[in-house]
Amino acid sequence: MIVSSGQKAVSFFAELLQPNGFGPVLSVSTVGEAKRLLVDREIDILLINTPLSDDFGMDFAVDAASKGCGVLLFVKAEQLDAVSLKVENYGILTLARPVSRPLVYQALKLLVATRRRLRALEEKTSSLQSKMEEIRLVNRAKLLLMEHLKMSEPEAHRTIEKRAMDACVKRRAIAESIIKTYDS
């Protein structure tokens, strides 16, 4: 999505994005419109040409980046250092205007590569959290079996494994059923 008060900048960015496989390209002229679109749609990449008519755009850039958007912020050359200092910790790339097509394209490719890498890490983190939750549930179920049925830890472990294999379900499902049965 392109957020720019000037139509000239919108045309410049759209001409760069569409032929290079970035699409569909949406464009709005205010932070308010951009916020409404972000609520309704998942936006991967956001190009913000500051200042905007209703706001400078820096706070919006930070909000969008914290929600997972890749953000490329365009500012006047004399503002570059000050703005970069404020937004770089949020993963926002900042470029000074005027800017060349090759530089914008290179920054976009960098943003896309970074977004892909972050997504892969998020998926891996989610998978690890799920596995840790399963381990916690299985351990809790083992403790309940040891407490209520006087099993040893290896016996409780084997019982959960065997029930899961016999029923062709995950250990998590068996652990949840044991917890439901014995945890009062």
Read off the pLDDT of residues 62-104 as tens digits, 9 standing for 90 and up. 999 998 889 999 999 999 999 999 999 999 999 999 999 999 9
Which run of H or E residues covers position 73?
Answer: strand 70-76
What does pTM read for this prediction? 0.72
Q: Is residue 7 part of a domain?
A: yes
Q: Is residue 58 part of a domain?
A: yes
Angle between helices 153-167 and 171-182 (to 10 degrees): 120
3-class DSSP state of 104: helix
- 46 plus 86 within the same structural domain: yes
Q: What is the mean pLDDT of residues 53-63?
A: 91
- 29 plus 69 within the same structural domain: yes
Q: Is the pLDDT of residue 23 over 80?
A: no
- 38 plus 80 within the same structural domain: yes
Instruction: Render pLDDT for 108-125 as a digit per residue (tens, 0 to 9).
Output: 999 989 888 988 999 999
- 81 plus 168 within the same structural domain: no
- 161 plus 86 within the same structural domain: no
C-alpha span between 1 and 10 (Å, rounded): 10
Q: Is the pLDDT of residue 155 over 90?
A: yes
Expressed as residue numbers, the domain containing 132 is 126-182
CATH number at residue 143: 1.10.10.10
Strand partners, 32: none
